[in-house]
A = this chain, B = another copy of it.
């Protein structure tokens, strides 16, 4: 019974999904709360996931020509105010620095909530000629937004992210980069995080403050709620005009640059938890699992068992991230802990296994147990990690398909959201009034106008006027 203690302490996701989530982030030791309200400590098990995300996402960025930079964390108030929509969007939720050392500042500064204004101020000095374009810069940093309600990873006052900011000679090039980065995000989510996403465009109501167009990838969590997982914005030349960023083009005329920005955050860790987790805890996709294989020695005090466990670790460590749990806990406790922490594979090895030249591999995602000869272990581990990566994506995609509904009129729309949890596809006339009505009545928002449009009906699901777009609707985190 004691062996099951860790597991029993988690709330079942079917009873209370929010509490299940909190239990997992704490019990899997991903985060800790702090004295700073709304800010968290990202503990080693959580930060190691972020490092694997960073490494693989950064490599994908660099393949497309992105260069990394670092800009200041402070934005003088006058700079924040230069672009009207942008300041209206962010001013209510920034933290203000008013004193440096013992002196009040001549002008107060906010801690960056995002860095469009700083990049514009930089580009204004750095861009003179078409030869200086494009600029395709990115930074990895933390940002601050003074949220009222916070949840670990999903919404915190400070979070880690990357923010790409580019400048281009033409509108077309900017639009192409905006879409290119959205596709980088979508491929990353699917191939690395095993999270399927819907790619599409935000409505004007939901787009980024100051953007001409915002593109998004939307994922469906296990509880049927939607999570915006990455966004890519095309600013046109709006910021360039507000900040006077001009370049001499090949035809010797001065032109304003066209800009984009795009970001992904530690929120992705929340998505991993809520898409793949189960009632035993975290389930990590192999490509972002800091420990891919946990070796649990059985009867480890018997001669040769621990030695064999470490021998297997050394062999597997050439290609995989491996640890041995050689603590003095019981095997049952170790199994429960390995499940809680989401290690994709657990290898059990005891005296009888050693004698028989075999071991047992247990898959975290399916709980399947497989007996393997020790001399085939390395090959089998590689195959299984690949299989798990692929099947986790397939299962998540099947779950999303099962929880994606169609509504053709308002009654059906209301009924679906009252009875089901998931995405609802429905037609929309394009008017903000309908979005406002839907949000007010159902607490549902437009997630995106997907690139893959379908014609489900001829009329708007809300007002009955002629429809212009199919929209994914959902309850959002």
Contact surface of A with B, Cβ cutoff 8 Å: 32, 34-36, 39-44, 47-48, 50-51, 67-76, 79, 92-102, 109, 111, 118, 121-122, 125-126, 137, 141-142, 144, 146, 157-158, 160
Cα(A96)–Cα(B34), bound, Å: 19
Cα(A36)–Cα(B75), bound, Å: 7
Closest chain B residue to A75 by CB distance? B36
Cα(A70)–Cα(B87), bound, Å: 29
Cα(A100)–Cα(B108), bound, Å: 13
Cα(A40)–Cα(B69), bound, Å: 11
Closest chain B residue to A94 by CB distance? B101
Q: Which residues of B contact A76 (CB under 8 A)?
A: 35-36
Q: Which residues of B contact A98 (CB under 8 A)?
A: 96-99
Which of B102, B137, B141 meets A92, CB within 8 Å? Answer: B102
A105 CB, nearest partner CB in chain B, Å: 8
Which of B42, B97, B100, B125 meets A70, CB within 8 Å? Answer: B42
Q: Is the CB of B96 within 8 A of A69?
A: no
Q: Is the CB of A44 within 8 A of B137?
A: yes
Q: Which residues of B contact A99 (CB under 8 A)?
A: 95-96, 98
Q: Which residues of B contact A47 (CB under 8 A)?
A: 67-70
Closest chain B residue to A68 by CB distance? B47
Cα(A99)–Cα(B108), bound, Å: 10
Q: Is the CB of B125 within 8 A of A32?
A: yes
Q: Is the CB of A71 within 8 A of B137?
A: no
A456 CB, nearest partner CB in chain B, Å: 40
Q: Which residues of B contact A95 (CB under 8 A)?
A: 74, 97, 99-101
Closest chain B residue to A144 by CB distance? B73
Which of B34, B50, B102 meets A72, CB within 8 Å? Answer: B34
Closest chain B residue to A70 by CB distance? B42
Q: Which of A42, A72, A142 is most buried by chain B, counting CB atoms within 10 A of its CB?
A: A72
Closest 10 CB pairs of A and B: A39-B72, A44-B67, A100-B146, A96-B99, A101-B146, A42-B70, A36-B72, A98-B98, A95-B97, A47-B68
A464 CB, nearest partner CB in chain B, Å: 40
Closest chain B residue to A124 by CB distance? B35
Q: Which residues of B contact A141 (CB under 8 A)?
A: 142
Closest chain B residue to A328 by CB distance? B131
Q: Which residues of B contact A102 (CB under 8 A)?
A: 92
Which of B36, B40, B44, B71 meets A109, CB within 8 Å? Answer: B36
A152 CB, nearest partner CB in chain B, Å: 12
Q: Is the CB of B34 within 8 A of A71?
A: yes
Interface pairs (15), CB distance under 8 Å: A32-B125, A34-B118, A35-B76, A35-B79, A36-B74, A39-B74, A40-B72, A41-B71, A47-B70, A73-B158, A95-B99, A95-B101, A96-B99, A100-B146, A111-B111
Which of B35, B92, B142 meets A121, CB within 8 Å? Answer: B35
